[in-house]
Structure 1
Amino acid sequence: MYNTASQQNVINYPYKPNTILKVVAGPGSGKTQTLLMKIKKMIQNDELLPHQILILSLTNKAIDNIVSNLSKLSDDSNGIDNRLISLLNIHTVHSLANKIVEYNEGAVDIIEDNGWRGLLKLIPGKATGDGFFINNNNNTKMNPRTLERLIQNFKNGKYINHNKKMGEILRELTEILNTSKVYTNDDLIIKASKYLQKNQYPLIHNDIKLVLIDEYQDLYPLLTPFIRSLMMNQDNTPNDKQLIIFGDINQSIYEFLGNNKQVIDELVNMPGYTTDIIHLEDNFRSSKEIVEYSRLCKPFKNATLDKKTHDYHNKPESGTLY
Structure 2
Amino acid sequence: MISQEQFNDLVVNVLGRDIEDNLSQKKAILAPIDESQYLVAGPGSGKTTVIVLKVLKYIFVDGIEPSKIMVTTFTNKAANELKSRTVKWAESIISYLDMDYEFNLNELIIGTLDSIAEEYISRHMDVEVIDNFTSSAIMMQTLLKDERNNDKKLKQFFKRMKNHQGGISTSELNNQIQSLKERLMYDMIDFNEIRGHADKETVIYDIISDYYSQLSNRNLVDYSLLERNFYNLLSEDKLESLHGICVILIDEYQDTNYLQEQIYFKLATFAVRNQGNITVVGDDDQALYRFRGADIELFTSYLDRIKKSLNISPTTIFLQRNYRSTSNIVNFVNDFISLDDIYQKSRTTNKPPITCADNKKDSLPIFGMFRNNIEELSTDLSELIYKLKTGEKIELKRKGEEYVISLGENPSLALLTNSPKEISSYNKKRLPFFIRESIQYKDDDLIVFNPRGQNIESTEIVSILCGLILIHIDSKSKVQESIDNIPPRSKKTLRMWRKHAENYLSENELTITDIKEDKIDLISLLTTITDSISYLANESNENKIYHDIIKDTIIQTNNAINTDGYLTANQIFWHILVPIATGAIEIDDDLFDFSLEDNVNIMSIHQSKGLEFDIIIVDVGSDIYNNQVSSAFKRYPKDGGMSYNIEKYINTMVNSGYVASSTGRDEAFNDLIRRYFVSYTRAKKLLILVGLSSMKDGYKGDFQSNIKIQNVATGWSRDGKWHWEGLENLIQL
Same structural fold, with TM-score higher than 0.5 when normalized by the shorter chain = yes
> What does 1:221-232 align with in structure 2 at a 5 Å threshold?
221-232=258-269
Larger relative contact order (Cα-Cα within 8 Å, sequence gap ≥ 6): 1
Q: Quick check: 1:58–1:94 contact (8 Å CA) kept in 2? A: no
Q: Is the Cα–Cα contact under 8 Å of residues 121 and 127 in structure 1 kept in the other structure?
A: no
Aligned pairs (5 A) from 1:77-226:
78=96, 84-110=104-130, 112-122=132-142, 123-124=144-145, 126=147, 134-136=154-156, 139=159, 140-143=168-171, 144-152=174-182, 153=184, 156-157=190-191, 158=194, 160=198, 162-205=200-243, 207-226=244-263
CA RMSD, Structure 1 to Structure 2 (Å): 3.1
AA matched with 1:312: A
The DSSP-based 3-state class of the residue aligned with 1:135 is helix
Name the CA distance, whole Å, in 1 between partners of 2:120 and 2:114: 10
Write out per-residue CA displacement over residues 193-214 of structure 1, whole angstroms, 9 at most, x where no aligned residue. Answer: 1211221111221x21000111
8 Å CA contact 1:215–1:248 kept in 2: the answer is yes
Task: For structure 2, list consecutive stretches of 5 or more residues without a partner in the other structure.
Answer: 1-15, 160-167, 361-733
Q: 1:109 to 1:215 in 2, by over 3 A?
A: closer
CA distance in 2, matches of 1:56, 1:24: 16
1:239 aligns to 2:239 (yes or no): no
Alpha-carbon distance change, 197 to 298 in structure 1, aligned in 2, over 3 angstroms: same
Deviations 1:245-277 (A, max 9, x none): 122111111122142223562454233212101
Instruction: State TM-score, norm by structure 1.
Output: 0.83
Which sections of structure 1, spanning at least 5 residues, go unmatched? 316-322
For residues 264-300 of structure 1, the C-alpha deviation after alignment (integer angstroms, 9 at most, x for no partner) is 6245423321210111231111122211111111378
* Other-structure match for 2:322: 283
CA contact (8 A) 2:177 2:204 kept: no
2:72 aligned counterpart, secondary structure:
strand
Identical amino acids, percent of aligned pairs: 20
Aligned letter for 1:246? V
1:27 paired residue number? 43
Partner of 1:253: 288
Q: For the residues of structure 2 that align with 1:200 and 1:50, how far apart are their CA atoms?
A: 22
Q: Structure 1's 84 and 238: CA in aligned 2 closer, same or farther, altered over 3 A?
A: closer
Judging changes above 3 Å, is the alpha-carbon distance between structure 1 residues 171 and 40 closer, same or farther for their aligned structure 2 residues? closer
SS of the residue aligned with 1:278?
strand
Contact 1:43 1:49 in 2 (8 A): yes
> Equivalent residue for 1:312?
357
Whether contact under 8 Å (2:68, 2:108) holds in the other structure is yes
SS at match of 1:90: strand
Query: What does the per-residue CA deviation read over 1:64-88, in whole Å, with 9 as the maximum and x for residues that have no partner?
Result: 2202322442463548979642121
Match of residue 318 from structure 1: none
Name the SS of the counterpart of 1:136 in structure 2. Answer: helix
Return the alpha-carbon distance in structure 2 between the equivalents of residues 114 and 37 of structure 1: 38
Aligned counterpart, 2:31: 13
Q: Aligned equivalents of 2:65 and 2:277: distance in 1?
A: 14
Give me the whole-angstrom Cα distance separating, in 2, the residues matched to 1:265 and 1:215: 15
Q: Which AA in structure 1 matches 2:145?
A: P
Deviation track 1:143-192 (CA, whole Å, cap 9, x = no partner) reads 34323234444984245451344443333333222222221211111111
CA shift, 1:36, in A, is 1.3
Scaled by the length of structure 2, the TM-score of the pair is 0.39
Describe the SS at the equivalent of 1:293: helix
Q: When the two structures are aligned, how many residues end up with a matched partner?
A: 308
Question: What's the offset of the Cα at 1:138?
Answer: 7.1
